[in-house]
Amino acid sequence: MMIKSVSVSPFDDQKPGTSGLRKSVVVFQQPHYLECFVQAIFNSVPGLAGNTLVLGGDGRYHNAEAIQTILRMAAAHGIKKVLVGQYGLLSTPAASAVIRKYQAAGGIILSASHNPGGPDGDFGIKFNSANGGPAVESLTEAMYANSQQLTEYQIIESEPVDINEQGPSQLGEMQIEVIDPVSDYSELMASLFDFDAIRQMFRKGFRIRFDAMHAITGPYAREILERELGAEAGSVINAVPKTDFGGGHPDPNLAHAKELVTEMYSAHAPDMGAASDGDGDRNMILGQHFFVTPSDSLAVLAANATLVPGYASGLAGVARSMPTSQAVDQVAKELGIACYETPTGWKFFGNLMDGGHITLCGEESFGTGSDHVREKDGLWAVLFWLNILAVEGDSIKQIVQQHWSRFGRNYYTRHDYEAVDAERASELMLRLEGKLEYLIGTAPNGLHITAADNFAYTDPVDGSISHKQGLRILFADGARIIYRLSGTGTQGATLRIYVEVYEQAASKQEQDTQQALAPYIQLALELAQVPTYTAMNKPTVIT
């Protein structure tokens, strides 16, 4: 097959964010748009030619077409072999697991994570390196620089490759292996968790409801929870992946997983509720009439890790993103292990894992993971909770309340203002940053501010420095207010405000979260003049 060179002009908007390049479907459908970014990947990543590449995505709209394009471009660039998930499907954590298991040179994952899908929705693409984790900042910067200098891309002309049947095929000189997207991941989960103990718990009548949100995790959850572990048939709902996620928003939180939340707060709620997102890397955990915040979930997993076979020898350390609550810090302090505070973005955890510094990590945005892969992992977190429940025999609510009694409670919330005018959102942040140094030592509304800055991080593994990672206001009582502009959306800007207060007294640990944080929430709005700059009187989402 002949390699064809196609002349192009660069697109000026192909700068990857923390999770690759995300745009609306219509942007990716522009002639040559996807091809140009894929060419930038092949030009920037050393050592791909002659090696194995992993390829798959979350099944959203445009996934199938993009798979065919990438296969033809991979063949034109001397890739020896591509492992592609059947039907073009691979969850993000499963892709990481496959890269690591088969020692691939890297992988291309097609997903916009928790963003909506369909013809009017979003699409995304990112490169994961040989460690299974997202490309580091220096590599994504190289991709962007390369994308701005492109004059052509290379591709071969061929008929579409059949990726609906498992097995080998050939595309030019390149081998293609269509693999079961679930089996390698399932095998890895069985090596970490006590499946026998979980099966026994289900036999005794334990009930779970897992909402796959018509996204990628449906086939994984059905295979592992229902077929392998014996949860009753129908435990997994919305299990069939759809290109538009059934018209829903595949973000596992209290606002978007309404069907699950309603059931878990009903009179006949199952023992456990859980959900995952578009590409399978996020999770939400619920007990009967009880929501576990992602920050508390990470802390509980860390505190109980030795109950799980894969972590029975203890943890090397833990890490959390800066905006995530400090609940896991309390656990690390008592266990005598290191706790790292990183910028938002899983790639920062990958460096710490590769350096042997941490075992568990998490972000407040419903992401938790460990060194078994180099991505956050939604179903893994659910299995971790099931393993703890099988050993402890208590309810989810009891386990969390016992945790608070031992370590104290970190009241914590995140208020999202979505689709804000990007210029106005930037003005808000610039104006607030200019005020920070003058806030130190003041006590607005009687709340004493001891420090304020724009968070910067020095990576202990490679020495790289990341500046301007979020505005922090710290108080004398340990409370925090944090402001960030999110990089995961595709329309306008998302302003995220995080508020946290630590409470050690058991008698004060049963308050309503929003009420407990009300003075700090009000101050956060006043300091940044949020209603003025966002033109919104209330957040889009509160978690």
Classify residue 152 as left (phi > 0), alpha (psi -120 to 50) or beta.
Answer: beta
Pick from 204, 261, 239, 492: nearest CA to 379:
239
Q: How far apart are CA 376 and CA 358, in angstroms?
A: 14
C-alpha dihedral sign at 105, 177, 219, 61: positive
Q: Is 426 a catalytic residue?
A: no
Up-side HSE of residue 19: CA atoms within 13 Å toward CB? 25
Up-side HSE of residue 409: CA atoms within 13 Å toward CB? 23
Cβ atoms of 300 and 388 closer than 8 Å: yes
- At 314, which amino acid appears? G
Pairing relation of β-strands 52-57 and 106-110? parallel
- How far is CA 536 from its chain centroid? 27
283's tokens: 């999770």
Burial level of 295, CB count in 10 A (0-12/13-18/19+)? buried
Up-side HSE of residue 268: CA atoms within 13 Å toward CB? 0
Q: How far apart are CA 467 and CA 216, in angstroms?
A: 34
Q: Which of 44, 96, 111, 113 is catalytic?
A: 113
Distances (CA, A) of 179 to 71, 150, 389, 401, 490: 15, 33, 33, 43, 31
| 3-state SS record for 342-391 | ECCCHHHHHHHHHCCCCCEEEECCCEEEECCCCCCCHHHHHHHHHHHHHH
Count of other CB atoms within 10 angstroms of residue 356: 11
H or E, element range at 84:
strand 81-89
The catalytic residue positions are 113
